[in-house]
Amino acid sequence: MSSVKAILALETIDELSTFLESQDVDEVRVEMLARFDQLIEYSDADQWAVAVRVCETLAMIGWGDREPVDAISHFNGDCWETRFVTAQNEFRFQLARWSKRKAGWTICNPEFRPSPDFPDRPAIDWQQNAGKEYPIVDRDSLPSQRNYRRQMPISMGVSCGRSDAARSVVVLRKELAEHLRATMTPDAYGDAIEKFYFTLHRPDSTDEEHSRLKVGAFNAKQKASYADLYLHRDFAELPVAEQRVFLGEQLLAAVDALAVKLKKRKLSYDIASFRSHVELAIQVWTDDHSD
């Protein structure tokens, strides 16, 4: 029996770990990587399930000289998504959205994200696959990797816009996100939150009378919370140093609002350390650009 068949027959992570202890991991790695390469453009839910188990195995024995990815399924509020995610929260290979029909699961409008391991494979926009039909497979659910690496919990986004002020916000978002990734320790806080989405609405994309922070409800099913910062046009007139300070203050205010929501729900999460690390990232960010 091949390693892949033996591994697919196992149900738990503990069983997988015990099985791998008796195997030549170098041989298993070669077989797993070969199978993974066949699944980077999975066409149905069963193939996705195999990709998940392959990634669980490679997470235990190592990816060799290949870039590690986790195979994650996620409900985005509208539909289920499946994607391969790096430690830096970058997507690789196929990213698929799914439709659940009476007969089962089917992919709709997938896209393809480039990988350094396959430099000759270009990105494919979902519109290039629009209307393409995929097999329907009857499964209870779309599995997700159980031994995945936790991602940086704060996901910063920016709304559309093309003015100089808009481009400035994009640069600031990138700067702050890099400092947050360097400072935060996702494994240390707990399981209650997967993502805290903090979206900046650029000055030319809103009609706000003043800058305004809106913190949404905590979504227990997604383990996610959302905050939107609507920037007034006056923001664009501030010196860049003051823009950094303002964005940092608003992010901390959003974290404080999140802390209140978690306390009301009596959820176990180290929001104090979470906030402390956010505050440190902001301090380093503003100090690095104080000249």
Mean pLDDT of 53-78: 91
- Residue 188: enclosing H or E segment and its boundaries? none
pLDDT at 259 over 70: yes
pLDDT of residue 4: 81
pLDDT of residue 207: 60
Q: How many CA atoms lie within 13 A of 204 on its CB side?
A: 13
Query: What gap in Å lies between CA 254 and CA 170, rounded to an integer?
Result: 19
Share of the chain above pLDDT 90, in %: 56
pLDDT of residue 41: 95
**Phi, psi torsion values for 93, nearest 5 degrees:** 60, -145
- The three-state secondary structure class of 105 is strand
pLDDT at 61 over 80: yes
> In whole angstroms, what separates CA 11 from the centre of its chain?
26
Query: What gap in Å lies between CA 96 and CA 157, rounded to an integer?
Result: 20
Query: What gap in Å lies between CA 29 and CA 22, rounded to an integer?
Result: 14
Q: What is the pLDDT of residues 203-255, one digit of tens each?
A: 655 565 688 899 988 888 778 899 999 888 788 888 989 999 999 999 999 99
Which strands, in side-by-side order, build the sheet including 224-230?
154-158, 195-201, 224-230, 212-215
Q: What is the pLDDT of residues 184-197, one digit of tens each?
A: 988 889 888 888 99
Residues 6+ apart with CB under 8 A from 211: 229, 230, 231, 232, 234, 235, 246, 250
Residue bearing the bigger pLDDT, 260 or 290: 260
Query: What gap in Å lies between CA 46 and CA 43, rounded to an integer?
Result: 8
Q: What is the pLDDT of residues 125-167, one digit of tens each?
A: 988 888 888 999 999 899 999 998 888 889 888 876 555 566 7
Q: What is the pLDDT of residues 2-24, one digit of tens each?
A: 778 889 899 999 999 999 988 88
pLDDT at 44 over 90: yes
pLDDT of residue 272: 94
CB 279 within 8 A of CB 254: no
Query: What gap in Å lies between CA 180 and CA 281, rounded to an integer?
Result: 5
Question: Within 10 A of 77 (CB to CB), how many other CB atoms are there?
Answer: 10
Query: What gap in Å lies between CA 239 and CA 75, rounded to an integer?
Result: 40
Band of residue 51 on the pLDDT scale cut at 50, 70, 90? very high
Q: What is the pLDDT of residues 69-88, one digit of tens each?
A: 999 998 877 789 999 999 87
* Per-chain mean pLDDT for the chain: 88
Question: Within 10 A of 138 (CB to CB), how many other CB atoms are there?
Answer: 11
pLDDT of residue 160: 60
